[in-house]
Amino acid sequence: MRFMSEHHDFLRSVEAFLKNHSWTPTRFGREMAGDPQFIFDLRGGREPRSDTRKRISSLMSEYSDKGVLPVLRVGIAGLGTVGASLVGMLHKSGPELQRKYGRRIEIVAVSARSRSRDRGVSISEFEWHDDPVALAKNPEVDLFVELVGGEDGPALASVQAALNAVKPVVTANKALLAKHGVDLARLAEKTGAHIGFEAAVAGGIPVIKTLREGLGTASVTRVYGIMNGTCNYILTRMGEEDISFADCLKDAQALGYAEADPAFDVEGFDTAHKLALLACLCFQTEIAADEIFVEGITAITQADIKVAADLGYKIKLPGIAQRSAGGVEQRVHPTLVPRSSAISRVDNVLNAVTLETDHIQELMLSGPGAGGPATAASVLADILDIARGHNVPPLGMPTDELAPYKRAPMQAHKGGYYIRLNVRDVPGALAAITTRVGESGISLESVIQRPDLKVASVNLSDGETRTLVLITQDTMESSVREALDQIADDGYTVGAPQVIRIESF
Ligand SMILES: NC(=O)c1ccc[n+]([C@@H]2O[C@H](COP(=O)([O-])OP(=O)(O)OC[C@H]3O[C@@H](n4cnc5c(N)ncnc54)[C@H](OP(=O)(O)O)[C@@H]3O)[C@@H](O)[C@H]2O)c1
């Protein structure tokens, strides 16, 4: 009985040491007991000999008496935009961080593809690894930072290797988490390691911490945000100047706001990845990036921007997730937002996320959503949390408690619609169109004829057309689709209709 209680007290003191010093069990086992498995066996009920217990207890008090936390040894895989900024930040702020947090944070090893590339920061003092997996497994590394990018490949393999070695991980990689987030969180739970991913959603905005820790019992009813700077820059410029999507995109590329291959951004998938992570944290469901309704901004024209402006709206590309009767709705699509709404003032490369909750009502966080310094600041915030021994479930709650994702069908979405049609300039066309709309049970708020607005993509060999815009009252997506199918069959329109949803933010 006496031994049982001694064993229990010893186990408790070891757990307290781990927590206070932010050591992984493996590091403790290796450095204090000479056996990386020591704590796992201890937790499993294996009792150490009494002299081993005494030796370890006295080593623990020696450490604690020194009153300083041990150095947190960081390994960084990926030294591009974000990784190089992080190295620079830690070089510059290291001493201040130590003063403030009572713990030295030291980069000990790095990995990238090219060892010789000039990154604007010195890396010669760090151990070099060609392979991020080898870096993750390096026994000198306590915390692994993944800034390589990509949903599989070395990013996935290295994060798995770090978690398997019971090392905490910090990553900015939304693509990786959108695809493997639940599995990685499960692995982290199993080993007791932590995953920080503040930088993966809306760059420098601390929305993950807010959702995981800042809301108390408030529950989110709807989350929406502008989370892609490239799209927001293009839509803002199109709203301010009379230029086409293609010209704006070229400028965005020249300014470094858009990638050489911009499809991932402008087709909406980058926003979708971030939305999937937010929806998981807001609604406690598994991450379901593949279930998101996604439309990009490539088809937005000056005609749409101008008519929207006349009606008191701007066009934005928000990601929106909300609970509805059928499940959880996740959507990324161009949206008409009232000019009076806060989100309409989030312009250029700024990002913003709004949480609508039952207790706190509306909470909007806005700031820089990308760029080396802003993103690295979020990575560093996660590193500091880990340095202080702060550990919360990666997805806000144990993965076993997450509900399977249930997709609310897009056909059941209800809201206002902006529908732009190129209508043949023939008698009876307008009457036929409004009749079809009425037959589908749609009430119109306004019908706007804009003969002055020509849409460049319309082929003039189809004859003269006029631009007609219908604004509906709240209606079902299925009704809109039914009406548009019938209108197309009647043959009064040319080309595909432009459908933009209206949201009452
Ligand atoms: N940039 C942003 O504003 C931003 C914002 C939020 C989140 N993020 C996320 O942060 C992560 C990093 O983004 P980034 O913009 O910094 O990317 P980046 O500039 O392209 O840098 C990627 C880095 O990874 C290295 N790398 C690529 N493949 C590798 C491999 N097989 N083995 C070892 N190293 C490899 C590259 O090495 P070399 O330098 O030698 O080629 C480079 O240093 C991504 O997940 C991204 O989605 C970025």
* Residue from 111, 116, 147 whose mutation best tests the ligand 1 pocket (most atoms within 8 A of CB): 147
Query: Residue 89 C-alpha to ligand 1 middle, in angstroms?
Result: 17
Nearest CA to ligand 1 atom 18: 80
Residues within a 6 A CB radius of ligand 1: 78-83, 111-114, 117, 132, 147-149, 154, 172-174, 199, 203, 370-371, 375
Where does 214-367 sit in CATH, by number? 3.30.360.10
Residue 191 neighbours by CB under 8 Å, 6+ apart: 163, 164, 166
Atom number of ligand 1 nearest to Cα 117? 40
Beta bridge partners of 368: 350
Of the candidates 464, 412, 421, 465, the residue with the CA atom closest to the CA atom of residue 444: 421
Find out whether 53 and 64 touch, Cβ atoms under 8 Å. no
Atom number of ligand 1 nearest to Cα 149? 45
pLDDT, mean of each 10-residue run, the chain (505 residues): 72 87 84 89 90 89 74 96 97 87 91 97 97 97 97 98 96 98 96 94 96 91 97 97 95 88 95 98 97 98 96 98 92 98 96 93 94 96 92 93 95 96 93 97 95 66 83 98 97 94 94
| DSSP for 359-426, written as a single string | SS-EEEEEEE-SSHHHHHHHHHHHHHHHHTT----TTSS-GGGSBPP-BPPGGG-EEEEEEEEEEESS
Query: Residue 84 C-alpha to ligand 1 middle, in angstroms?
Result: 9
Q: State residue 22's pLDDT score.
A: 73
> Looking at the domain 410-502, which fold is it?
Alpha-Beta Plaits (3.30.70)
Nearest CA to ligand 1 atom 21: 80
Residue extents of the structural domains in the chain: 2-65, 72-200, 214-367, 410-502
Catalytic residue among 167, 179, 274, 314: 274
**247 to each of 241, 252, 255, 301, 336, how far by Cα in Å?**
11, 9, 13, 12, 22
Please determine, looking at this structure, whether the domain spanning 72-200 carries the CATH number 3.40.1010.20. no
Atom number of ligand 1 nearest to Cα 83? 16
Q: State residue 3's pLDDT score.
A: 55
Query: Residue 174 C-alpha to ligand 1 middle, in angstroms?
Result: 12
Query: Residue 412 C-alpha to ligand 1 middle, in angstroms?
Result: 39
The verdict on whether 66 is a catalytic residue reads no
* Residue from 375, 380, 382 whose mutation best tests the ligand 1 pocket (most atoms within 8 A of CB): 375
Query: Residue 148 C-alpha to ligand 1 middle, in angstroms?
Result: 4
DSSP reduced 3-state for 344: helix
